[in-house]
């Protein structure tokens, strides 16, 4: 039921959306209606991961604008509204995607299916998510990172765990894999199945150069790499019960963080045995031979060291060709790897699935 | 420098704000300029905690809207823009205040002074913030809570700590005291001064009835109280090294959570020795005698049990008279308490200060 008889006024006299306008509203058949009260607006458009292009809202006599889409597949989607040409969030939806730059700002729509999804809370036992601040000596600044500890972490104070270092993409931050990627729930859900080993996940802030400042090519990855290797890993290994060797370290990232994970990980096989890139921003193919010189210099040794090299990209992703080129480069140089072509674009829908797919592949052979 | 020659287009064809529009921009004299590109919009207004009412943006020939305010006192402010009558966030500012209802959505403006504020990171040593999920048996649902552990928590595995249960207000959630209230940095900063004892802070989700559902009077507090007493406290005392007695438990909240803290705390002096309400929604004075019957039945015993009863409110807060009435009610019944009248309205600016003021008063006499 939608009622908007009561328009609240703020202290400043600007009309807020009435308390009882529901947007988005998902009905049992998984159609979704978006609503916005805007008597003075001339054009309101909806855009989102559930459809190409945009769709106009329609205005009624009271100035309530409405648009209905679907039915949609059960999924978590991001969307925006455009009010007279300004792209913003849905002001009636408290669930907002935030990050390190304004372009990340979107509203979140969750469409539930008959059964809980792999990213929904399914088990009673949950790991803990921790937010830490630390001083990065290499960058000369204070930074934050997020840590996920498996449900059993506190049960046995002697047990030690492998660590997945998991990197976000451009415009995001150290909370993205938790809040948008649901890393905690995905891994919580895998535990009772026994398919994945228990491991710690460390999610640093992935910018070496602040996102609002210009960077030279390679500078961001180089600076972030120093922070990761000189500050983050020592901090984690002193603070948590980790197994502190290369067999028990993985480095995986998405988009910008995928480029970082591949560049840093494949140039530091003395530190990492598992490396992965999701929809990775791998850069131009012409630079591969230089960027990955140490990897291809001795393919046989690299293959012995790499327990997993996983590259995945959705076919509707603008970075698909880059990932494909990178996979071909690896093949040319006889570097064993998995190239995972999937459906999907450059979205969290794909990255949540990829995490769920690779988690059971991590740390299976290491002791 | 602001450049907007490059207008990015999303996949959907809706113009995003150009990457290099800076809003808000704070200059050295603490004036603040807000900018928004909106060639089609007819009216854009700014409202925020830095001024009463609203102020119009002005449009230039390129459709860039600008407004400048200040100079402002160093502070963290929340603000909104209204685009052709629709109240939303500043689409160029990634820093967004989120919560459990849409009315919470605002942009965040931080104006720094020459010296770091009491809520800025000042020390190298930081406590940890943890996000936990738990099953509330009393409410029959899965819920989240946030825990702050003092910097020394991991140093001595035998040490045990008092606990402050700290409640958010309406429209907020279990992250509010961390993200908006800066509880972690405020307490981190107090540690080296020795003025505050080290303690754990537990920040549960404060709604007993979900915020989008109607509740009978008292129902929300009653249901939340069961969750707090039957689920949250046992969970915390089994999971963390707490001192699990009334002398070492405090219950404090703001606004809706202030009403909850006073109602639950003052009716459970067998559980809590320190109780506080910031800008508390204490309800009508006519109900005080009934709500606090056990407190006033034997004022002398209540005074013996209460190590701290702290009620604070800003004079520009719509709830000021309610707090004042409550203080007078306590005085009438000879219940010892502090009534702290301050400047300020119903905002986080006030609540951060109150936390900083009461932290040194907690757990000083208990052993």
In which band, very low, low, confident or very high, does the pLDDT at A123 lie, cut at 50, 70 and 90?
Answer: confident
Q: What is the mean pLDDT of residues B333-342?
A: 97
Q: How many A-B residue pairs are in contact by the CB < 8 A criterion?
A: 170
Closest to A274 (Cα-Cα) out of A176, A364, A146: A364
Question: How, if at all, do strands B106-111 and B128-136 pair?
Answer: unpaired
- The minimal CB distance from B91 to the residues A95, A102, A239 is found for A102
Three-state DSSP class for residue A44: strand
Q: What is the mean pLDDT of residues B157-185?
A: 97
State the distance between the two ends of chain A, measured CA to CA, in whole angstroms: 57
Q: Could you report the per-residue pLDDT of A87-96, keeping only the tens digit for each?
A: 999 999 999 9
Find, in chain A, the residue whose alpha carbon is nearest to that of B124. A135
Q: Which comes out higher in pLDDT, residue B20 or A179? A: A179
Question: How, if at all, do strands A32-37 and A25-26 pair?
Answer: antiparallel
pLDDT at residue A18, rounded to an integer: 55
Token readout for A313 is: 């990209």
- Among B2, B6, B11, B12, the strongest candidate for a mutation testing the A interface, having the largest count of A CBs within 10 A, is B12
Three-state DSSP class for residue B323: helix
pLDDT at residue A82, rounded to an integer: 97
- The minimal CB distance from A38 to the residues B15, B47, B86 is found for B86
* Sequence-ordered list of residues with C-beta below 8 angstroms from that of B119, at least 6 positions apart, any chain: B76, B182, B185, B186, B189, B352, B356
Percent of chain B with pLDDT over 70: 94
In which band, very low, low, confident or very high, does the pLDDT at B6 lie, cut at 50, 70 and 90?
Answer: very low
Given a cut of 90, whether residue B212 has pLDDT beyond it is: no
Given a cut of 50, whether residue B13 has pLDDT beyond it is: no
Question: How, if at all, do strands A32-37 and A64-69 pair?
Answer: antiparallel
Q: What is the mean pLDDT of residues B9-35?
A: 74
- Among B133, B136, B189, the strongest candidate for a mutation testing the A interface, having the largest count of A CBs within 10 A, is B133
Find, in chain B, the residue whose alpha carbon is nearest to that of A124. B135
Find, in chain B, the residue whose alpha carbon is nearest to that of A104. B94
Sketch out chain B's domains with CATH numbers. Answer: 25-111 (2.60.40.10), 128-361 (3.40.50.1820)
Find, in chain A, the residue whose alpha carbon is nearest to that of B99. A94
pLDDT at residue B95, rounded to an integer: 97
Q: Could you report the per-residue pLDDT of A273-308, keeping only the tens digit for each?
A: 999 999 999 999 999 999 999 999 999 999 999 999
pLDDT at residue B19, rounded to an integer: 55
Q: Where are the beta strands (DSSP E) in chain A?
A: 25-26, 32-37, 44-48, 51-56, 58-59, 64-69, 75-83, 86-88, 96-97, 106-111, 128-136, 141-149, 163-167, 200-204, 249-254, 274-278, 308-314, 338-342
d(CA B241, CA A308): 40
Residue A114: other Cβ atoms inside 10 A: 5
The complex's ipTM works out to 0.92
pLDDT at residue A19, rounded to an integer: 55
Q: Could you report the per-residue pLDDT of B132-150, keeping only the tens digit for each?
A: 999 999 999 999 999 999 9
Q: Could you report the per-residue pLDDT of A35-60, keeping only the tens digit for each?
A: 999 999 999 999 999 999 999 999 99
pLDDT at residue A124, rounded to an integer: 80
Contacts of B107 in chain A (CB under 8 A): none
pLDDT at residue A3, rounded to an integer: 37
Contacts of A121 in chain B (CB under 8 A): 133, 142
d(CA B365, CA B367): 7
- Among B49, B56, B86, the strongest candidate for a mutation testing the A interface, having the largest count of A CBs within 10 A, is B86
Q: What is the mean pLDDT of residues A243-249?
A: 98
Question: How, if at all, do strands A308-314 and A274-278 pair?
Answer: parallel
Closest to A337 (Cα-Cα) out of A266, A249, A268: A266
Judge whether A168 and A253 are in contact, CB under 8 Å. Answer: yes
Helices (H) and strands (E) counted in chain A, each on its own, are 10, 18
pLDDT at residue A212, rounded to an integer: 87
Q: Could you report the per-residue pLDDT of A305-364, keeping only the tens digit for each?
A: 999 999 999 999 999 999 999 999 999 999 999 999 999 999 999 999 999 999 999 999
Tokens 């409110």, located at residue? B313
From A305's Cα to the closest Cα of chain B, the distance in A is 35
């Amino acid at each position: 039921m939608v009622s908007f008889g009561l328009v609240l006024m703020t202290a400043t006299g600007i009309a807020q959306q009435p308390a009882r306008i529901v947007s988005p509203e998902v009905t049992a058949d998984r159609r979704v209606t978006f609503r916005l009260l805007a008597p003075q607006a001339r054009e309101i458009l909806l855009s989102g991961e559930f459809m190409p292009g945009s769709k106009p809202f329609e205005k009624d006599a009271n100035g309530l604008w409405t648009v209905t889409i679907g039915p949609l597949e059960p999924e978590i989607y991001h969307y925006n509204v455009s009010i007279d040409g300004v792209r913003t969030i849905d002001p009636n939806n408290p669930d907002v995607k935030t990050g390190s730059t304004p372009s990340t700002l979107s509203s979140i729509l969750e469409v539930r299916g008959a059964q809980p999804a792999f990213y929904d809370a399914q088990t009673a036992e949950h790991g803990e998510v921790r937010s830490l601040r630390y001083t990065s000596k290499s960058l000369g600044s204070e930074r934050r990172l997020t840590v996920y500890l498996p449900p059993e972490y506190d049960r046995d104070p002697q047990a030690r765990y492998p660590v997945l270092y998991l990197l976000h993409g451009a415009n995001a931050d150290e909370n993205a894999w938790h809040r948008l990627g649901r890393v905690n729930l995905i891994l919580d859900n895998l535990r009772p199945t026994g398919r994945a080993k228990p491991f710690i996940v460390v999610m640093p802030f992935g910018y070496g150069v602040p996102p609002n400042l210009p960077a030279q090519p390679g500078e961001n990855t180089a600076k972030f790499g120093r922070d990761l290797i000189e500050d983050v890993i020592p901090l984690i290994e002193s603070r948590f019960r980790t197994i502190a060797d290369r067999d028990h370290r993985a480095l995986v990232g998405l988009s910008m963080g995928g480029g970082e994970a591949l560049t840093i990980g494949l140039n530091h096989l003395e530190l990492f045995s598992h490396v992965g890139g999701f929809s990775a921003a791998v850069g131009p193919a012409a630079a591969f031979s230089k960027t990955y010189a140490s990897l291809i210099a001795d393919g046989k040794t690299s293959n012995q060291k790499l327990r997993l090299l996983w590259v995945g990209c959705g076919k509707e992703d603008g970075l698909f060709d880059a990932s494909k080129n990178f996979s071909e480069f690896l093949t040319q140089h006889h570097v064993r790897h998995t190239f995972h072509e999937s459906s999907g674009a450059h979205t969290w829908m794909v990255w949540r699935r990829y995490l769920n797919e690779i988690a059971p592949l991590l740390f299976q052979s290491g002791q």
